[in-house]
Chain A
Amino acid sequence: QVQLQESGPGLVKPSETLSLTCTVSDGSISNYYWSWIRQPPGKGLEWIGYIYSSGSTNYNPSLKSRVTISVNPSKNQFSLRLSSVTAADTAVYFCARWLDGGYGFDIWGRGTKVTVSS
């Protein structure tokens, strides 16, 4: 069974760039869509964006100007960069596999908590 694991700093300073990586294990990153989703403390889920294994991307319009998602097939990893962060970006960040065509997010990582604070 494919497993996902997020990694990256748990604390980021305001105005800096948040960087996270998701490692895909026990399966290939090829031929799938991979996504980032976040959840602020006590709030609901917010989709950040996704990337196909070939590199094509789609981002949430509300975050598009600050988000970059990239993929490294040789390492079976994909990554998130979110620039110019503020306290509003404090959240648990999940990576997940997205199955297009109504199949949803079928596999999720455990999530990693990122706090934006000086």
Chain B
Amino acid sequence: SYDLAQPPSVSVSPGQTASITCSGDKLGNKYVCWYQQRPGQSPVLVIYEDRKRPSGIPERFSGSNSGNTATLTISGTQAMDEADYYCQAWGSSTVVFGGGTKVTVL
């Protein structure tokens, strides 16, 4: 089976940059998506095809993917960005999610 690993938590000060990593074997050869999930809500797609933002997603969200690691970067982090973030890829003919990263804005 294909696995994606994320750090359990990331802390960031308001206005600073948060980086969330997602690691998997040769992940750079696959497309990665990222989802934001606020408490009690459904996930929201914030990045698709490694680096593209759906309509309505702020420019402060960006993504990259190379080698074995994909990264979601939140620039100028705001209090409203406090949430769980999940990476997702297609591996071994199945959809795979990372374990999720809780972003805390201190």
> In which size bucket is the chain B interface?
20 to 34
CB nearest neighbor in A for B89: A102
Tell me whether B31 and A109 are in contact (CB under 8 A): no
Is B100 in contact with A45, judged by CB distance below 8 angstroms? yes
Contact A60 B94 (CB under 8 A): yes
Identify which of A50, A58, A102, A106 contacts B31 (C-beta below 8 A).
A102
Residue of B nearest to A64 (CB): B94
Contact B33 A105 (CB under 8 A): yes
Least Cβ distance of A95 to chain B in Å?
Answer: 10
Given A44-B86, A58-B93, A101-B31, A108:B44 Cβ within 8 A: yes
Question: Who on chain B is nearest to A104 by CB?
Answer: B33
Residue A94 interfacial (CB < 8 Å): yes
Task: Please classify the interface of chain B as helix (H, G, I), strand (E, B), loop, or mixed, using the class held by over half of its residues.
Answer: strand
Q: Is the CB of B98 within 8 A of A44?
A: yes
Q: Check A103 against B49 for contact (C-beta < 8 Å).
A: yes
Contact A108 B43, CB 8 Å, known A47-B97, A61-B94, A102-B33? yes
Of B1, B37, B48, which contacts A104 at CB under 8 A? B48
Residues of B82-99 contacting chain A, CB below 8 A:
84, 86, 88, 90, 93-99
For the complex formed, measure the closest distance between the CB of B6 and the CB atoms of chain A, giving whole angstroms: 9
Leading 3 A-B pairs by shortest Cβ distance: A102-B31, A104-B33, A47-B95
What are 15 A-B residue pairs whose CB atoms fall within 8 Å in the complex?
A: A44-B86, A44-B98, A47-B96, A58-B94, A94-B43, A101-B31, A102-B31, A102-B49, A102-B50, A102-B90, A104-B35, A104-B48, A105-B88, A109-B42, A110-B42
